[in-house]
Amino acid sequence: MVLSGAVARQPSLPSNWERLLTLAQAEVKATVDSLPVDLRDQAAQLPITYEPEPNRDLRNDGIEPDTLGLFVGEPFSAGDTIRGPIPAQIILFLKNIWEMAEEDEDFYREEIRTTLLHELGHFLGLDEDDLEERGLD
């Protein structure tokens, strides 16, 4: 899995960014490692990036400012998703997840896991109804 902690420094970057990033990366690794082998292999190829919150361009495209995670690109079922016109990737918005978790580290890790699984579901072609049926809404 491609893990990237690189982010353009933004005025809204939390002072505890390194801690949030470290916790998130550990939880992402644990979550991916817990997947069945065939799903783990697919998830390992999917870049996962970390941002504090959706940037202006994403908000201008209709992404809500409090969004927790986002899958972009073509789902796995569409074929070559890594090199398509918009490479498939998952973005986790750590500041938003931290605030939603009310700054509780255990809840934050749980929400990282849930958000990652939700976005992996989109990568696998599941829609919001499918995700809700699986408790990943």
List the CATH number of the domain containing 55: 3.30.2010.20
pLDDT surpasses 80 at 14: no
C-alpha to C-alpha distance for 104 and 116, rounded to whole angstroms: 18
pLDDT, tens only, 84-97: 567 789 999 999 99
Share of the chain above pLDDT 90, in %: 55
C-alpha to C-alpha distance for 34 and 36, rounded to whole angstroms: 7
- Tell me the pTM: 0.82
How sure is the predictor about 105, in pLDDT bands with cuts at 50, 70 and 90? very high
**Residue with the two structure tokens 């918009």:** 86
Q: What is the span of the domain harbouring residue 76?
A: 3-133
- The CA dihedral of 44, 111, 12, 89, to the nearest 10 degrees, is 20
Question: How many domains is the chain built from?
Answer: 1
Higher pLDDT, 1 or 37: 37
Summarize the confidence of residues 51-60 as an average pLDDT.
95
pLDDT, tens only, 16-54: 999 999 999 999 999 999 998 888 888 888 899 999 999
SS (H, E, C) 49-75: EEECCCCHHHHHCCCCCCCCEEEECCC
For all residues of the chain together, what is the average pLDDT? 85
